[in-house]
Structure 1
Amino acid sequence: DDDGSRPGRGAVSSDDPDFSDGTATVDGTTADYRFAAVEATTPDGVTLTVYAGAPLAAEQEAVNTVRGAMLTGLPLLLVVVAGVTWLVTRRALRPVEGIRREMAAITASEDLARRVPEPGSRDEIAALARTTNETLTVLEASVERQRRFVADASHELRSPIASLRTQLEVAEAHPELLDLPGAVADTVRLQVLAADLLLLARLDAGEKPGSATVELGALVREEVSQRTGDRIAVSVEVPQGGAFEVNGSRGQLSRVIGNLLDNAQRHAEGSVAVSVAADGRGVRVEVRDDGAGVPEDERERIFERFVRLDDARSRDDGGAGLGLAIARDVASRHGGTLTVDRAAEGGAAFRLWLPRSA
């Protein structure tokens, strides 16, 4: 017999039950259940539905327990995580605060000799501190160089201006005593010095040398041909048919060659020579004289600004000490080099090397 609770003998049931949620009252207690329904067909062709249910009380109790634990523990956990994060972040950013504080002090005091503290760690903050100190070092050197430049320029300008003023005042009181050639010489010297200072200011400001193509052989011949007032004739050695093209500013490169020839004329005893030749991937211009030469321990110092090795030499004859500094700066900005060595004639040999034009 079939009591309606299970398929009868010989009945055929469905393989896929249907699930649903609902409530049921068992022994007077109403609760939530999970039901499964299966259809079965008896041999007589009667289709019956068999239901089976399981209470959800255990699952609901577990969910309620978890919910209660989360509502109670989550705020506490968030507070702990926030506190730990704050402590770790503060500890990690403490060196940054030290850097910021020291930079603020440097800005207020304008003392570029101070440095920010460098942590002992090897992380990004330590790298930031090292980079900041390197920047301060470069900035300090730049400011010091600028101060020294201004002081030296003021000192150099004072002499020709004072001399010119004295001559004009004497001429005003006694016109017959006017030293016109001397006044013209002081004016020319003042003009040359102002031009040198202006060029150095442009170089320090990062002025680009340009990308024009310059043939150094022709430039050397042209520069020498215009020097009709030199006390010593300059011999030129430029191979015929050579291509000595470089990229840069024709005016600045002409200034370099002129400064090297002026220096050679100032120190030569009886001969000055300039040659142009290929040198690897570049072009070499060499200016030689038969003077006393440059002591080996002074061969880098002569390229500093306002440096004259011979203190006994007058300012008029020795110049302001800017020519070689300008020449090296121009060579460096053209991607080349300028060095000095001993010449075969016994004097100094200045070698200007510039990369060949592509």
Structure 2
Amino acid sequence: MRSVRARAALGATVVVAVALVGAGLAVLLVLRANLTDQAGLQAEVVAREAAGQLALDVPYDRLEMREEEDHPVQVTDEDGRVVAVSKDLQAISGTGTDQVTPAPSPAAGSSTGSGDDGSDDGYGDDNGGHSIPGRGEVDSDEPDFTNGTATVDGETADYRFASVQATTSAGVTLTVHAGAPLAAEQEAVGTVRGAMLIGLPVLLLVVAGVTWLVTRRALRPVEGIRREMAAITASEDLSRRVPEPGSRDEIARLARTTNETLTALEASVDRQRRFVADASHELRSPIASLRTQLEVGAAHPELLDVPGAVADTVRLQALAADLLLLARLDAGERPGRTTLDLGALVHEEVSQRTGDRIPVAVSVPDSGAFEVAGSRGQLARVIGNLLDNAERHAERTVAVSLRAERGGVVVAVTDDGAGVPPDERERIFERFVRLDDARTRDEGGAGLGLAIARDVAARHGGRLTVDGAPQGGARFELWLPSAG
């Protein structure tokens, strides 16, 4: 099942089905328990009525039992013998004995009284020949309840029986089993169960259908995003964007994130294309110049410009090295974590620049701790590029200084040249970007030095910025975090 709509509809249907089945079972159990309790209460009332008569020594054959066929009564003595039953009771189960025919009991009362001489025992003259019945007691404890069946006047049904004990004035303990029909309970439970069995599938179909429609409506923007992404992939047109729904839900955020990714990808591809085009252009010049010189030298050896050929070769080698370093940086190469003294590195770089047209003034405090962590070669390249840029634009002075600042080390390189216009201070860090003044002063610059310097600084967790120098010109500041 690969469709999200189908999985969502199935999941919602299963959850609702489980919930409804659980709720339905609970309703049926509660309904059955309540109706059974009501039947038990009715049976208890009938049993206590009969037990009350027995406690008053009413003879068995004169017990006034309910004539309704839905309340069968059975009376047993201490030995479990049946001494009385209700009218038309033909069979019974669930009361301890299935006998329905009363048996004579020596402790039982009779229609002629309870005396030994067969006369009107216990009935005095003052009462017109009738004696006052004795008084026993009815057990007030909670009766015992059981379920069973009874056949009354040929009809067999299920009953809830209540058993109540009564004691006569003579000390005879009798048990009255009275039943109440469970037909109402069974009918009600059957009706509810039938309604649930009919309504549950219908409700599940409704839930599945609604979930399917709602999910389809919710996922419609996703399908639009998918189609547009497929079209972008097929056309390779990164300028296209996926539709963004007007809602503020997760799908809208997905569409916005997708468009942001496409924007970044388009910018990256454009930057890569410009990089390849600019690199090809920059490589074409020294290669063409070197080829021309070699061809002239091959035809006329006396005209071969060896120093020029060497200069073009050096320029070509430097450009290839810069392009290789940029490629490694773009590939995500992580710099090393060697701890080094940035002050010593600055002194070393300046000491190797013996051919500069303007001497570099170095200001490094002796008491300062300028240790940083990173790649010695890449950081040396940054310092060298900044000094090359300063030498290219300076009039009379180039200075480099170090200072500690906010948990890091700052290397500042200043010159007294024309400076960088404020609106060009970010543009000069782009690749192959050279201001017009730079092109007139340096024929060999490819516009990669500052771009490499900023990329290396960022890879080391630092930053490279440019501002105006106090004496005029430009001031480049490289901030790197301290090794600690």
Please classify the TM superposition score into its range, dividing by the shorter chain length: over 0.9
* Gap change, CA 1:252 and 1:272, over 3 Å in 2: same
The equivalent residue for 2:239 is 113
The equivalent residue for 2:267 is 141
Residue 118 (structure 1) shift: 1.0
Q: Secondary structure at the match of 1:313?
A: helix
In the alignment, the residues of structure 2 paired with residue 324 and residue 72 of structure 1 have an alpha-carbon distance, to the nearest angstrom, of: 79
- 1:281-292 pair list within 5 angstroms: 281-292=407-418
Q: Is the counterpart of residue 151 in structure 1 residue 277 in structure 2? A: yes
In the alignment, the residues of structure 1 paired with residue 210 and residue 249 of structure 2 have an alpha-carbon distance, to the nearest angstrom, of: 21
2:223 to 71, 89, 97: 97
Number of aligned residues: 358
Residue 43 (structure 1) shift: 5.2
| Identical residues among aligned pairs (%) | 81
Which structure would you say has the larger Rg? Answer: 2
Task: Name the stretch that deviates more: 87-96 or 336-345.
Answer: 336-345
Code of the aligned partner of 1:76: V
In the alignment, the residues of structure 2 paired with residue 351 and residue 46 of structure 1 have an alpha-carbon distance, to the nearest angstrom, of: 115
The equivalent residue for 1:235 is 361
Structure 2 stretches of 5 or more lacking a match? Answer: 1-57, 61-74, 76-83, 86-107, 109-133
1:264 to 387, 390, 398: 390
Question: Would you say the 8 A contact 1:308–1:318 is kept in 2?
Answer: no
Q: Secondary structure at the match of 1:317?
A: coil
Residue 357 (structure 1) shift: 2.4
Structure 1 stretches of 5 or more lacking a match? Answer: none
- 1:49-128 pair list within 5 angstroms: 49-128=175-254
Code of the aligned partner of 2:460: H
Q: Secondary structure at the match of 1:52?
A: strand
- 1:168-187 pair list within 5 angstroms: 168-187=294-313
The equivalent residue for 1:162 is 288
In the alignment, the residues of structure 1 paired with residue 226 and residue 253 of structure 2 have an alpha-carbon distance, to the nearest angstrom, of: 15
* Gap change, CA 1:2 and 1:251, over 3 Å in 2: farther
Q: Secondary structure at the match of 1:235?
A: strand
Question: Would you say the 8 A contact 1:14–1:40 is kept in 2?
Answer: no
Question: Would you say the 8 A contact 2:431–2:447 is kept in 1?
Answer: yes
In the alignment, the residues of structure 2 paired with residue 206 and residue 151 of structure 1 have an alpha-carbon distance, to the nearest angstrom, of: 22
Question: Would you say the 8 A contact 2:460–2:480 is kept in 1?
Answer: yes
TM-score scaled by structure 1? 0.93
Code of the aligned partner of 1:116: V
In the alignment, the residues of structure 2 paired with residue 343 and residue 311 of structure 1 have an alpha-carbon distance, to the nearest angstrom, of: 18
Code of the aligned partner of 2:395: E
Question: Would you say the 8 A contact 1:266–1:318 is kept in 2?
Answer: no
In the alignment, the residues of structure 2 paired with residue 318 and residue 299 of structure 1 have an alpha-carbon distance, to the nearest angstrom, of: 21
Q: Is the counterpart of residue 30 in structure 1 residue 162 in structure 2? A: no
The equivalent residue for 1:306 is 432
Question: Would you say the 8 A contact 1:264–1:287 is kept in 2?
Answer: yes
2:471 to 345, 349, 352: 345
Deviations 1:165-216 (A, max 9, x none): 2222222222232221111111111110010001111111111122222211
Task: Name the stretch that deviates more: 345-354 or 40-49.
Answer: 40-49
* Gap change, CA 1:2 and 1:151, over 3 Å in 2: farther
The equivalent residue for 1:317 is 443
In the alignment, the residues of structure 2 paired with residue 296 and residue 71 of structure 1 have an alpha-carbon distance, to the nearest angstrom, of: 80
Q: Is the counterpart of residue 275 in structure 1 residue 395 in structure 2? A: no
* Gap change, CA 1:2 and 1:176, over 3 Å in 2: farther
Task: Name the stretch that deviates more: 305-314 or 339-348.
Answer: 305-314
* Gap change, CA 1:312 and 1:261, over 3 Å in 2: closer
Q: Secondary structure at the match of 2:461?
A: coil
